[in-house]
Structure 1
Amino acid sequence: MSPNKEQAAAEFRRMIKWIALIGVVATGLAILYLAATGDLHLHMVIAVIGGVFLSVLLGCGLFAASFFSDKSGHDQSVTDATKRKTD
C-alpha cells in the first residue's frame, strides 16, 4: 500500500471512530429528551437506537467513504480508466 493510501486509511479509521462516538452521544441525548418529556417504553428505546444511531452512522459513514475514496486515489484511477484517448 502506498504511503498516500495508508494515510487515507488511517484518517478513515479515525473518522469512523468519531462518527460512532457522535452517534452514541446523539442517541443518548435523544433518549434523555424522550425520558424528560414522557414515559419510555422498550419498543420506543429500540426504535430510537435504530433510527438515530443507524442514521448518523449511515449518513456520516457515506461521507467518510467518499473522502477516503478521493484521498486514497481511487477516484483518480477510475477517471484515468474512463478517459477517452485522443490521438
Structure 2
Amino acid sequence: MTRKSPLDDPQSAAFAWARYRRIMRFMFMLTVGLVAIAIALLYKFGAEEVSIHFYIAVALGIGFTMLLTSALMGLVFLSSGTGHDEAIEDPLRKDD
C-alpha cells in the first residue's frame, strides 16, 4: 500500500508551495538582473554593431535557461524538503 505523502496535508502543502513561489520570485529577479548585466557587457565590449536579434536571443537564452533550471531545482527541493520522496513505495528496496 502506498504511504501518505506529507503534501497531502493542506497546511503542509500550502507552506511548501509558498516557499517554492518565494524561491521562484527571487530567481526571477536574479535572472532579470543577470540578463541586464549580460546585455550591458555585450554592448560595452564591442557588440554594438550586431543586430537587435542578437540581444533578444541572448536575453531569451540566458533567461530561459536560468528560469527552467531554477524551477526544476526548486521542485527537487520541494519534494525532498517535505518528505514526499520518502512516501513512495520502492519495490527494489531491500528492507533488513
TM-score between the two structures when normalised by the length of structure 2: 0.76
Segments of structure 2 that go 5 or more residues without pairing to the other structure are: 1-7
May I ask how many residue pairs the two structures share in their alignment?
85
Task: Using CA pairs under 8 Å that are at least 6 residues apart, name the structure with larger relative contact order, 1 or 2.
Answer: 2
Secondary structure of the structure 2 residue equivalent to 1:82: coil
Higher share of residues assigned helix? 1
Residue in 2 aligned with 1:43?
A: 53
CA contact (8 A) 1:23 1:53 kept: yes
Structure 1: state its 5+ residue gaps: none
1: distance between equivalents of 2:45 and 2:76?
38
1:59 maps to amino acid: T
Aligned residues of 1:9 and 1:72 also touching (Cα < 8 A): no
Between the two proteins, what is the percent identity of the paired residues? Answer: 29
Distance 1:85 1:71 in 2: 24
**1:74 paired to 2:91:** no
**Cα contact 1:5–1:71 (8 A) shared by 2:** no
Letter in 2 for 1:51: G
Q: Partners in 2 of 1:41 and 1:23 — Cα distance?
A: 23
Length-normalised TM-score, structure 1: 0.82
**What does 1:1-87 correspond to in 2, within 5 Å?**
2=9, 3-38=11-46, 39=48, 40-78=50-88, 81-83=89-91
